[in-house]
Chain A
């Protein structure tokens, strides 16, 4: 039996004489913890490659926002509205292998050009539209799975059905975190559906790299907390006394033959105590000026909740949290952006998220944080350019849009294209594996070398796939 605590530090201490992370995993699994010095698995590590970004803020739009109604402008849809055309619909193909005719449905919102770059954005996102000169759109994404569960897991873990670590876990495994008083990977208000915790779990990576949830989907942000971070039963003084009692007993129990793991238990209490002192401050948004809060739409009915999430995201970035996920999510099997019918409901979700996201972009930029923070916006797939039911759209994993901002990605730029209907990515296609590889690359991690040995095999986020999309970097 060996402790996983020191596993990754083997890379640095090279106790086993190997240089790669995979072998670190292997040799810690199968050698003694005793010959490894106790060290912190979350200590900040130098990236493998020159890094553009130090951290990522991923804004997850759960349910599949329609790219053809938001950022991927296709004039042909207006012209062909109501006409039947053959489409290789992903769901029909998966189920029947056949190609059928579908009725084209035009976007329900007007598009207009914004900024110097003149990129098109629909009237769903007037505030984000104001920032297009900072955004890099990827219009040619495609992914695996057709249903929410598989595709959501694929977005987060690179696998639809197999058990794999979440991207945030890989990133903290590869880079550690900058602030030892806070978790390295935090997800704000995550959904419990469509994979739920698997979307921020460590799977076979050491538990140190699992995401920490703050609050949960559908819970008001004003009530969101990290589990067990505070003690509601004891006053500060009483808890202080109890903590001293506990550590006193622990020191007394630490015998002459104490091993590193036992000492690490004492350190874990120290860290927990520091976290308990620091994290509540992080959550206290009243420290922010009224102007800042207003920028995120805090105080306005529609945007208050998501505005709080976004502002919290910035505060984490500021404090050096490595991977921050902001979830626009709920706990349904048909999640928020999932309009199989009643596409007009997209407006509700756009309203709730447009100003907060725009506020975050503006705030990060104003504080210089956009220099080394990579903002990533998107859902598990897009939606079809043709109708489902009378006024809905089904899932489209074959072509959709995400956008990136900050940390050396080309601003005011669009990469890749879908076909003229916006159904399938056709030019400069970017598979989700490619996007994962590219995001890791931005952080200075080589997706082919960020591996972990488990059950006799080296695993990576991108499986055996993934290519870095150079074209999006300045």
Chain B
């Protein structure tokens, strides 16, 4: 049908003659009704000369309109359903034009036009730069970019001054320095060096004693320094410092951020996992695999199981607006965040760019992005509800603990099974009892229009009736087989709007009795029934409920008569009564067994062993959603293009590339592909990050971007050689750090010559070290070490137990900065001021800003003032020393050095400028001085 219609205009043209007039008419229709509308409402965004072509669609010539844009053909002559232009005008597929729907008459014109063959005389227009749907990425050309080529070991160069070099790193660097006709700076003096090393390795200042021990060490500087480096690498504070570097990249946080920021509660476990990974020198490839697919790895023992599960929080801890109402959008946003963070963190690639179109700079087609998206769509990250939830799982525990959990579970299961058994026995007996029950649907309404509802639990049958105000009455008439005494029970669903005095009237042998029930209270019998009392009846019981004199809503549900004692019946020779007595006895026995079992269960539940801690995870327990996914055209989650097989980055995969098994998400394969020594990016990116933290800049200065717009490495051969060595050393981070720190280059002074400044202003050649500003955490920890308040406890949950929300959270003072909770919408003031990275974004290189808010904080914040006072008290506590010695001590604690003569003079004159004797003013003065030293330039810099 479609083919036939499509050829209609052609047929018309061929037939010619008599139809020419019709053709002309159609042409006129186009010129009068269609073209002006296209020009006025569409060309701005959909023509060759549009400032910005939208959706890859051009409507300014016939062929372009028929070919359509990213979403498919816009005009299919004769086919209204396939013509996206029409549904867009109708505001069905798209909403075009965006400023407002066109009048229906205009849309009808388009309908007519398309229906009658979409006659369109417009010839192709040459676009300025012909837009194409894909940018036609040339993967072979892309592979020529340095970062996609395999890394290899290079021969170590032979610089002239070989004696200057302490190792291969120095030889690589010196060769370039010499080539630029520069000479390296002198070595830093020992007190400068040890301060640098302490901050670099553990993020804390050396104590005056530690400084003295190193400065006075008779060994050569290199040997003495090696000892210090090894000590610091073995310190548990090493992981706190270097783990934090990784937490920047992992955009770690303890709340979700987004609109309604929720507490993750368990994410500190991931923080501690990272710290422990660095302390134990976990091979970096393993570290990568665990974070991407730890849940899919075999578990050797419970400890590795704990670590592997906890590590997957890397994928789950992103900033997410869980309240986003469009859940498909939410799902794709979370996947995008996972892909983008993973790409930046491990590969130094900006993969997120390929969500909407082929990457503009790097050889990453949008199909690669959706190949990865398929992997992450096959993984579960959250449960959806109005505000969706992330997932948590209990950690594996040691055998003894697990045994206790299992035993307890077994005990409970068997008790519960027995209870079930006994209860069904009891129910069977009850069924044999001459019980009588009447639900409200079968009762007789005497007055009022009772409403029915099933809104509040519990009730009998399908629903219950309720009424409020005067004029409601309902009567239950229950015929009885055997006369006797019965317990009369009524059911109701309790609620605070119910009547506290619902009147029930029981007509019995002795007359009528009114009983009022408080229907706000939970019914005592099975949470369903309340007893009106025991009454004697003959052949029937009549119970009436009304609203007379009742406040609130009166519920009328079921009435049940439970026999207590039956009269001996002459007709059956008393057998009914006998049987009844027998059954009641059995029931009594069972009831006591049941109640005994219930208390046993309760008791056992109380003695439950503690549950294992929960951790935030991603999971693949439900594999029903494993499968490939579609390209989302222009990143629109609702506009699906072709399906793409799950896979990895084409440009960084060799021909034989791994493939994803049908039944698996491919996440584990992805993790292994990233952590493979064959991957050209991973080891280079990791080595470069480590280098950055020791020299202030990476060999590739754009540490998160190894793509085409990233910087080229300053020393490509050194970077490659280090990367190869890193892999050969089993991806040992500590070995690499040690090698770098024991280079001569690391130990150089940060003072540079005029020549160096002129030739190499950015110090890319590393002819000297870089002066670096301390990070927020190091400033924070250093302040606490001067005041003597630093609590060096390791790890643990540090969010105060009663915390419901991050808003207004007051941060406790004492623990190292790495343990302060990281909330996405609330950080400690000092963190915000000193460029702590936005925990919403993966950050490999922090900003270093100089702001007046930093100055205000250092001058006026209660935190700094308090710590300055404590630091002053600590100095004044030792009465055996004089102010000179105190000043020395303060300088050593704060700046790792003696005051200069000029500083000493300024400080002494400040201290001396009052005639205080009683000590109070002296403490104030020392407080001011301590605060000024904390605020001073040298405090925040490492030379």
What separation, in Å, do the CA atoms of A162 and B361 have in the docked complex?
21
Within 8 A of A (CB), among B323-371: 323-327, 329-330, 333, 344, 350, 352-353, 360-362
User: From B855, which residue of chain A is reached at the shortest CB distance?
Assistant: A272
The answer to whether A5 touches B937 (Cβ under 8 A) is no
Residues on A with beta carbons closer than 8 Å to the beta carbon of B900: 252
User: From B701, which residue of chain A is reached at the shortest CB distance?
Assistant: A30
Tell whether B717 is near chain A: CB-to-CB under 8 Å.
no
Within 8 A of A (CB), among B837-870: 838, 840-841, 845, 847-857, 859-861, 865
Q: Which of B771, B845, B860, B940 contacts A229 (CB 8 A)?
A: B860
The answer to whether B761 touches A34 (Cβ under 8 A) is yes
The answer to whether A261 touches B928 (Cβ under 8 A) is no
Within 8 A of B (CB), among A254-269: 254, 257, 259, 261-262, 264-269
The answer to whether B100 touches A427 (Cβ under 8 A) is yes
Residues on A with beta carbons closer than 8 Å to the beta carbon of B773: 261
The answer to whether B257 touches A198 (Cβ under 8 A) is yes
The answer to whether A163 touches B840 (Cβ under 8 A) is yes
What separation, in Å, do the CA atoms of A22 and B825 have in the docked complex?
27
User: From A417, which residue of chain B is reached at the shortest CB distance?
Assistant: B100
The answer to whether A245 touches B826 (Cβ under 8 A) is no
The answer to whether A30 touches B860 (Cβ under 8 A) is no
Tell whether A412 is near chain B: CB-to-CB under 8 Å.
no
The answer to whether A455 touches B321 (Cβ under 8 A) is no
Residues on A with beta carbons closer than 8 Å to the beta carbon of B848: 1-4, 261
B872–chain A nearest beta-carbon distance, Å: 13
The answer to whether A194 touches B260 (Cβ under 8 A) is yes
Q: Which of A5, A140, A160, A431 contacts B849 (CB 8 A)?
A: A5
B826–chain A nearest beta-carbon distance, Å: 7
Known: A163-B840, A193-B807, A426-B101. A242 touches B937 (CB 8 A): no
Known: A3-B849, A198-B825, A207-B851. A249 touches B857 (CB 8 A): no
Known: A1-B772, A252-B903, A456-B361. A95 touches B325 (CB 8 A): yes
Within 8 A of B (CB), among A390-435: 425-431
What separation, in Å, do the CA atoms of A30 and B773 have in the docked complex?
18
Known: A203-B841, A207-B851. A228 touches B861 (CB 8 A): yes
Tell whether A109 is near chain B: CB-to-CB under 8 Å.
no
Tell whether A148 is near chain B: CB-to-CB under 8 Å.
yes
The answer to whether A150 touches B323 (Cβ under 8 A) is yes
Known: A149-B323, A150-B323. A431 touches B838 (CB 8 A): no
User: From B702, which residue of chain A is reached at the shortest CB distance?
Assistant: A30
Tell whether A175 is near chain B: CB-to-CB under 8 Å.
no
Tell whether A375 is near chain B: CB-to-CB under 8 Å.
no
Known: A94-B325, A234-B928. A163 touches B259 (CB 8 A): no
User: From B387, which residue of chain A is reached at the shortest CB distance?
Assistant: A147
Tell whether B98 is near chain A: CB-to-CB under 8 Å.
yes
The answer to whether A241 touches B100 (Cβ under 8 A) is no
Q: Which of B330, B840, B852 contacts A271 (CB 8 A)?
A: B852
Tell whether A277 is near chain B: CB-to-CB under 8 Å.
no
Total interface residues in chain B, CB < 8 Å: 92
The answer to whether A228 touches B101 (Cβ under 8 A) is no
Q: Which of A94, A261, A275, A456 contacts B850 (CB 8 A)?
A: A261
B640–chain A nearest beta-carbon distance, Å: 14
Tell whether A153 is near chain B: CB-to-CB under 8 Å.
yes
What separation, in Å, do the CA atoms of A420 and B900 have in the docked complex?
79
The answer to whether B353 touches A456 (Cβ under 8 A) is yes
Residues on A with beta carbons closer than 8 Å to the beta carbon of B840: 163, 198, 203
The answer to whether B857 touches A228 (Cβ under 8 A) is yes
User: From B361, which residue of chain A is reached at the shortest CB distance?
Assistant: A456
Residues on B with beta carbons closer than 8 Å to the beta carbon of A241: 910, 913, 928
What separation, in Å, do the CA atoms of A111 and B697 have in the docked complex?
64
Known: A147-B323, A197-B825, A252-B906. A276 touches B856 (CB 8 A): yes
The answer to whether B762 touches A32 (Cβ under 8 A) is yes
A203–chain B nearest beta-carbon distance, Å: 6
What separation, in Å, do the CA atoms of A34 and B760 have in the docked complex?
10
B803–chain A nearest beta-carbon distance, Å: 14
Of the four ranges (under 10, 10 to 19, 20 to 34, 35 or more), the interface on chain A belongs to: 35 or more
A390–chain B nearest beta-carbon distance, Å: 15
Residues on B with beta carbons closer than 8 Å to the beta carbon of A269: 852, 855, 859, 935
The answer to whether B327 touches A95 (Cβ under 8 A) is yes
Residues on B with beta carbons closer than 8 Å to the beta carbon of A230: 860
Known: A34-B757, A160-B321, A194-B259. A245 touches B929 (CB 8 A): yes
Residues on B with beta carbons closer than 8 Å to the beta carbon of A252: 900, 902-903, 906
The answer to whether A425 touches B100 (Cβ under 8 A) is yes
What separation, in Å, do the CA atoms of A229 and B857 have in the docked complex?
8
1/0 contact string of B646-666 vs chain A (CB within 8 Å): 000000000000000000000
B904–chain A nearest beta-carbon distance, Å: 10
Interface centre among B761, B852, B936 (most CB of A within 10 A): B852
What separation, in Å, do the CA atoms of A266 and B929 have in the docked complex?
17
The answer to whether A428 touches B829 (Cβ under 8 A) is no
Within 8 A of B (CB), among A220-254: 227-231, 233-234, 238-239, 241-243, 245-246, 248-250, 252-254
Tell whether A201 is near chain B: CB-to-CB under 8 Å.
yes
Residues on B with beta carbons closer than 8 Å to the beta carbon of A212: 853
What separation, in Å, do the CA atoms of A233 and B866 have in the docked complex?
10
B555–chain A nearest beta-carbon distance, Å: 22
What separation, in Å, do the CA atoms of A390 and B711 have in the docked complex?
61
The answer to whether B697 touches A455 (Cβ under 8 A) is no
What separation, in Å, do the CA atoms of A32 and B697 have in the docked complex?
11
The answer to whether A147 touches B849 (Cβ under 8 A) is no
The answer to whether A32 touches B931 (Cβ under 8 A) is no
The answer to whether B903 touches A249 (Cβ under 8 A) is yes
Known: A163-B319, A249-B932. A231 touches B771 (CB 8 A): no
User: From A201, which residue of chain B is reached at the shortest CB distance?
Assistant: B838
Residues on B with beta carbons closer than 8 Å to the beta carbon of A254: 937
Tell whether A64 is near chain B: CB-to-CB under 8 Å.
no
The answer to whether B903 touches A3 (Cβ under 8 A) is no
Residues on A with beta carbons closer than 8 Å to the beta carbon of B853: 212, 228, 272
Tell whether B590 is near chain A: CB-to-CB under 8 Å.
no
Tell whether A208 is near chain B: CB-to-CB under 8 Å.
yes
User: From B350, which residue of chain A is reached at the shortest CB distance?
Assistant: A456
Residues on A with beta carbons closer than 8 Å to the beta carbon of B808: 192
Known: A241-B928, A271-B855. A265 touches B937 (CB 8 A): yes
Residues on A with beta carbons closer than 8 Å to the beta carbon of B851: 207-208, 268
Residues on A with beta carbons closer than 8 Å to the beta carbon of B362: 456
Tell whether B751 is near chain A: CB-to-CB under 8 Å.
yes
Tell whether B434 is near chain A: CB-to-CB under 8 Å.
no
A329–chain B nearest beta-carbon distance, Å: 13
Tell whether B641 is near chain A: CB-to-CB under 8 Å.
no
The answer to whether B325 touches A426 (Cβ under 8 A) is no
Interface centre among A212, A241, A249, A267 (most CB of B within 10 A): A249
Residues on A with beta carbons closer than 8 Å to the beta carbon of B360: 457
Tell whether A351 is near chain B: CB-to-CB under 8 Å.
no
What separation, in Å, do the CA atoms of A229 and B838 have in the docked complex?
24
Interface centre among B707, B763, B841 (most CB of A within 10 A): B841
Interface centre among A1, A153, A331, A455 (most CB of B within 10 A): A1
1/0 contact string of A257-301 vs chain B (CB within 8 Å): 101011011111101110110000000000000000000000000
Q: Which of A4, A146, A246 contacts B936 (CB 8 A)?
A: A246
Tell whether B258 is near chain A: CB-to-CB under 8 Å.
yes
Residues on A with beta carbons closer than 8 Å to the beta carbon of B771: 259
B326–chain A nearest beta-carbon distance, Å: 4
Residues on B with beta carbons closer than 8 Å to the beta carbon of A266: 937
Q: A29-B702, A145-B325 are in contact. List 7 more A-B contacts (CB 8 A).
A: A147-B259, A149-B259, A245-B932, A246-B936, A253-B937, A429-B100, A456-B709
User: Can you list 25 A-B contacts with CB-CB less than 8 angstroms, sorted by A residue number?
Assistant: A32-B761, A35-B761, A147-B259, A147-B321, A192-B807, A193-B259, A193-B261, A195-B258, A195-B825, A208-B849, A228-B859, A239-B859, A246-B936, A249-B933, A257-B752, A268-B850, A268-B852, A268-B855, A273-B855, A426-B100, A428-B99, A455-B344, A456-B353, A456-B705, A456-B707
**Complex A-B, nearest 9 residue pairs according to Cβ-Cβ distance, in ascending order:** A149-B259, A272-B855, A32-B762, A196-B825, A94-B325, A94-B326, A246-B932, A272-B852, A228-B860
